[in-house]
Amino acid sequence: MPAPDGIRMLVEAARRIDEARIELADIALRRPSLDHVFLAMTTDPTESLTHLVSGSAR
């Protein structure tokens, strides 16, 4: 998931997970790949939502 605040968002997520007493196997912050950047710039964000809605209506 995108993390615009980087490490701050990761630390906050880890804190909330710990408060909820959820045990994690792993948590990490990584830079997006070129594929992720390309898809984010060229894909209509409503496309997957439309697919889900039309698929559930059948």
Domain parsing of the chain, residue ranges: 7-56
Q: pTM for the full model?
A: 0.50
**pLDDT by position in tens, the chain (length 58):** 777 788 898 899 999 999 999 998 998 888 889 998 888 888 877 766 555 555 554 4
In the 8-state DSSP scheme, what is residue 50? H
User: Which H or E run contains 10?
Assistant: helix 7-19
pLDDT at 29: 84
| Interatomic CA distance for residues 9 and 5, integer angstroms | 6
pLDDT at 50: 57
State CA 13 to chain mean position distance: 12
pLDDT at 21: 97
| Interatomic CA distance for residues 13 and 50, integer angstroms | 29
Residue spans of beta strands (DSSP E) within the chain: none
| Interatomic CA distance for residues 13 and 7, integer angstroms | 10
